[in-house]
A and B are shown apart, each in its own frame.
Chain A
Amino acid sequence: MNYQEFKDYISEHIKEHLPAEYQDSNISFVSFTKNNNTHREGLQIQKDDESAMPCIYMDNFFKDYQSGEKMVNIMESIATAVSSSTDIYHGFAFDINQISNFDSMKNRVICRLVNKDSNSEILSNVPFTPFENLAATYHILVNKQSDSLNTLAISNKMLKDYGISVDKLHEAAVQNMDSLMPPKFESMSDMLHRLAPPGMDAFLDNTEDSMPLYILTNETGIYGASVLLNKSFMDRVTTEIGKDLVILPSSVHEVIAFPRPDVEDDVKGLEDIVKSINANYLAPEDFLSNSVYEYHAENHRFIQCARAHEPAQETSHESKQKADKENPIKAHAKSSRQISPQEEISL
């Protein structure tokens, strides 16, 4: 079977493997745009009386099929995934029907940092805050486990339902960071020793007495680059390291920081390193940026090294906040213009 025939087979036969409660459900395949304009296709099974539905990604199941797994086993695995996904959202600590109510959701709002240019399609449908050449997007934390997250992207339609500005959303997300996605930093050497799977000793960093490198991320290690938005955390890092920082965008999940050299370093050389490693050691969906950044402790300034000699200016978020305070009516009208209705909400 090719992929289309594989999907057709699943559509026709999946109900044979599902409990009776699913026999009248609607089955469809939906393609979702993920980070950096990558796409994944999922099987959706919607029951008439439910406002939420599970979606099971097909790519790994098709790989199993191509590797020789029997279809009957694949169908059973998909059915198990449907049941466990349903159990997850039935076990939510909040009513999923309240997702349009900001007061019910505000303590669950988190943010992610992604590349602005390579996410133009997603960013046309969601509220975001520019952060240098990156963008902060907003999500509702549905479920958190040690190594995975269930999140719901906040769309323009949801923001319209909330009746708040993007700045208010950003404020809530940053406030929730310490409690929902606690930031952390550790030395490169410690992280490599903790992460390295068996057989990868050759990758371990054994030069502990040389230049210190630090990994900044969050406790789950998922979309941990967003810790750059947390000023109090960044100040803690600079206090601990004792200097301004150079920041390398390792991925959307983690960034690398090291003390900014006293002598001007070769920014072009660092950019070449970032580009080369992004090309060879990074999955497309995890790409964050090809730029090198600095963080200045004194004025909490995060900036691309290439622009570091420009005079300090307010960040777009700070200047927008100031403008909103000066003219809240104009600010509301401005944020409303960005909103377009979107029926489908992707996670």
Chain B
Amino acid sequence: MKKTTTSIRPEVSRDSVNTKLQTARLSAYAKRIKTMTGKESTKDELPRV
């Protein structure tokens, strides 16, 4: 019978690139939702990552 093997590999690890993207993403949501609901002016454009 063929032996069943299991590969052990590291799962998602949070690195600086992901944190930057996550920060930019959450910030973009904050700005755009507040703009949409009229709680903030549209003048603040987000910088690109």
- What residues make up the interface of A, taking CB atoms closer than 8 Å to B? 30, 32, 42, 44, 46, 51-57, 85, 88-89, 96, 99, 142, 147-152, 157, 188-189, 191-192, 195-197, 200, 202-205, 207, 210-211, 213, 215, 221-223, 248, 250-251, 253-254, 256, 258, 261, 265-266, 269-270, 273, 276-277, 280-283, 286, 343-347
Residues on the B chain within 8 Å of A191, using CB: 26
- What residues make up the interface of B, taking CB atoms closer than 8 Å to A? 2-14, 16, 18-34, 36-37, 39-40, 46-47, 49
Complex: A221 Cα to B14 Cα, angstroms: 9
B2 to chain A minimum Cβ distance, whole angstroms, is: 6
Residues on the B chain within 8 Å of A151, using CB: 11
Q: A210-B34, A265-B37, A273-B33 are in contact. Are A202 and B6 (CB under 8 A)?
A: no
Q: A147-B13, A192-B23 are in contact. Are A211 and B33 (CB under 8 A)?
A: yes
Contact B8 A205 (CB under 8 A): no
Contact B26 A207 (CB under 8 A): no
Residues on the A chain within 8 Å of B16, using CB: 197
Complex: A248 Cα to B22 Cα, angstroms: 14
Residues on the A chain within 8 Å of B20, using CB: 197, 200
Complex: A89 Cα to B9 Cα, angstroms: 10
- Which of A197, A269, A281 meets B36, CB within 8 Å? A269
Name the residue among B26, B27, B34, B39 with the largest chain A CB count within 10 angstroms: B26
Contact B8 A89 (CB under 8 A): yes
